[in-house]
Structure 1
Amino acid sequence: MKNRNGFILIALLAGLLMSCNSGTTRSQKTPTLKDAFAGKFHIGTALNEWQITGRDSAGVEVIKNQFQAIVAENCMKSGPIHPRKDEYNFDLPDQFVEFGVANDKFITGHCLIWHSQAPRWFFTDDEGNDVSREVMIERMKEHIYTVVGRYKGKIKGWDVVNEAIMEDGSMRNSKFLQIVGDDFIKLAFQFAHEADPDAELYYNDYNEWFPGKRDAIVQMIRDLKADGIRIDGIGMQGHIGMDSPSLEDYEAAIVAYANEGMKVMVTELDMSILPNRSRDVGADIATSFEYQQSLNPYTEGVPVEKMNEWDERMLDFFRLFLKHSDAVTRVTMWGVSDATSWKNNFPIRGRTDYPLLFDRNYEPKSIVAKLIEEANKAENID
């Protein structure tokens, strides 16, 4: 009886070990994006409020399992985080950062100085007039010191200045430019470095592949360096379409920034599958409806051949990022699921777009397996 019990115990232990090994094998058979791109660049995503608070549990699981880097979609912009002069709203940002720390993610802060989504009080006095240059600089400094200082050692990199340059290379005529002058960029980077000397500091923009804008960003980098101001990287937002930009123009921008010693990040990647607005519409309601329908053709799903076309173009961009992985340090998707992408409402509200890697049910689209395969091929080549 004693021996029989011993045999039973051994059998149970053997079964348990086999079960554990089987579970490990199953886990190994499900490769993830973050594993595939490890050692090449961080693969990341933006988190919205529901994901930060945990209400979007399906989205949270995708973020934990698939992505190595995170950025907040909205809650760290100056309007939401600093709505009034003497009031900060750190509830969501704190939860966002805590999630990133708990799950060992590379956390980026977005963004410190941006003309859009800035609080109205930031630029005016009690009478509604523009504040002086001195007051504006002090407000910038206080805001940056407070926000960056709060997350010192936790947030690894900051989008310090966002979208300050136009496509032709001229400076955007923002309130920052009007009140402070073009050295507001220099001051913002200086204050961010003082607030956290160990954090990486980035300039972030869209259409950053336009030759005029690209050359102006290169000159800005040189000017900052000449003044002894630290800048670590350039964020290429990466809001792309099926026809534009060309891979050649995008690569030229990556190379230009890398040649200045910059880390290059694709910070807000999505790719609209929908046609762009290209002509005006007359007053005929029927014509307008027909026009809107032509700009929103996939309300019931995307034809396989069109989805394959989208996959191949997205693959081409990732091949480009892998080719330049010595310079590209992070590729961040601007959202987790097609269902919550801002592209469903931009530039025309109410459209059904498919710009991200996971579908409306948080299932990986066909592109995910293709990206993992592409990353593994690049590893074998290395």
Structure 2
Amino acid sequence: MTRAVAGTAIAAALLLTLNPTSAVAAADTGLRDAAKHTGVRIGTAVDMAAFNADTTYRDAINREFNSVVAENVMKWGEIEKERGVLNFAAADQLVDSARANGQQVRGHTLLWHNQLPGWLTAGVTSGEIDAAELRQILKRHVFEVAGHFRGRIVAWDVVNEIIDDNAQLRDTIFLRLLGPGYIADMFRWAHQADPKAKLYLNDYNVEGINAKSTAYYDLVKQLKADRVPVHGFGIQGHLGVQYPFPNNVLDNVRRFEKLGLDTAFTEVDVRMPMPPDATKLQAQAYAYSALLQACLLAQRCVSFTVWGFTDKYSWVPGVFNGQGAANLLDENFIPKLAYDAVKTTFTLGGR
């Protein structure tokens, strides 16, 4: 989860996001209201510990967003900490709350090389779990999890971050034991478990046209040729103001759409070296708005999801030393320039 932002202008229209009209700025409504006419959902990742402990956080989710995704509680290591013992309580709570508040739910994620159950990685490492058993375990996992939420999840990140930063299939226990065919298997199993859910590939550092996004483009072409039910491409959008903004974002989105896929920005945040200052906050606003503009200008971009919305509960400082302030609201839930930019971009945008 890394990458890039800042500096050069994309379009004159961006100036409107950094200098919103008085009518737009004065409107006292949330992001979900600003987005409702565009056909693009505005979403956030949800930290369920904060959701249960902090009413300000919970109220903001319901006010600002019409789509949610679990930050952690749908990951394999959280659902099945003990082999064969499944715990959906926290994930069910999120789904039930979302449905009560008119929000769609994205599923994240059926398979990732991180946050796996300890019993699984230990079993593979020791040789206790061989290739044949791993394939059966993986199939069971997909049917149990996707099947549990059948009809309640609009889209699944079926496989997450399966290509590395050298544009090669990531070296994981699944690739080593099962070969690249596990990717197609995951999509076929997920489609059988929940035929109505849209099924996504999802990764970081694929915002623009580069070697990694092209590797995904080639993978999608092969999967489609093999009649694998892949429906969407998820662009995470973890950026940083200290890096150049990725080039050709809209062109990249459009080439995946030409393959017949929906697209989505799935995990957007824009970090900065601490402390914040006016220039960094303006660059952050630019980055959020520029990604959202690409989504709105595309034909099949269905959602724009931020990976957390308040710096109070951000994952960034714990992973990137000396960096933070990556979200739309600060630690006190006060909107930043980036929030205004996203809101204005939605308000002025459309299809």
TM-score by length of 2: 0.87
* Contact residue 338 and residue 354 of structure 1 kept, 8 A: yes
Of 208-217 and 160-169, the range deviating more from structure 2? 208-217
In the other structure, the counterpart of 2:118 is: 120
Aligned residue pairs total: 324
* Contact residue 268 and residue 306 of structure 2 kept, 8 A: yes
Q: Does 1:364 align with 2:335?
A: yes
Of 36-45 and 152-161, the range deviating more from structure 2? 36-45
* Separation in 2, partners of 1:337, 1:240: 16
* Contact residue 79 and residue 117 of structure 1 kept, 8 A: yes
TM-score by length of 1: 0.80
Offset at residue 352 of structure 1 (A):
5.6
In the other structure, the counterpart of 1:322 is: 296
Q: Does 1:345 align with 2:318?
A: yes
Of 223-232 and 264-273, the range deviating more from structure 2? 223-232
Give ranges in structure 2 of 5+ residues lacking alignment.
1-25
* Contact residue 123 and residue 130 of structure 1 kept, 8 A: no
* Separation in 2, partners of 1:152, 1:206: 27
* Cα separation, partners in 2 of 1:321 and 1:200, compared to 1, 3 Å: same
In the other structure, the counterpart of 1:277 is: none
In the other structure, the counterpart of 1:310 is: 284
| Per-residue Cα deviation, 1:121-155 (whole angstroms, up to 9, x for no partner) | 22554993152222111101111101111111111
* Contact residue 264 and residue 295 of structure 2 kept, 8 A: no
* Separation in 2, partners of 1:90, 1:61: 23
| Per-residue Cα deviation, 1:347-381 (whole angstroms, up to 9, x for no partner) | 22xx46211111111122233233222222224xx
In the other structure, the counterpart of 2:47 is: 48
Instruction: Work out which of the two has the higher radius of gyration on C-alpha atoms and give 1 or 2.
Output: 1
* Contact residue 267 and residue 330 of structure 1 kept, 8 A: yes
* Cα separation, partners in 2 of 1:308 and 1:245, compared to 1, 3 Å: closer
* Separation in 1, partners of 2:125, 2:34: 56
Equivalences for residues 171-182 of structure 1 within 5 A:
171-182=169-180
Offset at residue 247 of structure 1 (A):
4.2
| Per-residue Cα deviation, 1:208-246 (whole angstroms, up to 9, x for no partner) | 246221121112112222222101101111001114453
Within the candidate set 137, 151, 154, 1:153 is matched to 151
* Cα separation, partners in 2 of 1:77 and 1:377, compared to 1, 3 Å: same
Classify the secondary structure of the residue corresponding to 2:333: coil
Classify the secondary structure of the residue corresponding to 1:79: helix
Offset at residue 160 of structure 1 (A):
0.5
Q: What amino acid does structure 2 have at the position aligned with 1:63?
A: I
* Contact residue 111 and residue 162 of structure 1 kept, 8 A: yes
Of 31-40 and 96-105, the range deviating more from structure 2? 31-40
Of 179-188 and 315-324, the range deviating more from structure 2? 315-324
In the other structure, the counterpart of 1:106 is: 104
* Contact residue 31 and residue 372 of structure 1 kept, 8 A: no
Q: Which protein has greater RCO, CA pairs closer than 8 Å, 6+ apart?
A: 2
* Cα separation, partners in 2 of 1:373 and 1:124, compared to 1, 3 Å: closer
Give ranges in structure 1 of 5+ residues lacking alignment.
1-27, 275-295
Q: What amino acid does structure 1 have at the position aligned with 2:120?
A: F
Classify the secondary structure of the residue corresponding to 2:250: helix
Equivalences for residues 14-163 of structure 1 within 5 A:
29-38=27-36, 39-52=38-51, 54-123=52-121, 125=123, 128-129=126-127, 131-163=129-161
Classify the secondary structure of the residue corresponding to 1:336: coil
In the other structure, the counterpart of 1:267 is: 266
* Contact residue 59 and residue 336 of structure 1 kept, 8 A: no
Which aligned runs of 4 or more in structure 1 are off by greater than 4 angstroms?
123-127
* Contact residue 148 and residue 196 of structure 1 kept, 8 A: yes
Classify the secondary structure of the residue corresponding to 1:273: strand
In the other structure, the counterpart of 1:278 is: none
* Contact residue 251 and residue 320 of structure 1 kept, 8 A: yes
Classify the secondary structure of the residue corresponding to 2:169: coil
| Per-residue Cα deviation, 1:28-66 (whole angstroms, up to 9, x for no partner) | 9412211111233111000002244x2111111111001
Equivalences for residues 223-302 of structure 1 within 5 A:
223-244=222-243, 246-274=245-273, 296=274, 298=275, 302=276
* Contact residue 167 and residue 210 of structure 1 kept, 8 A: no
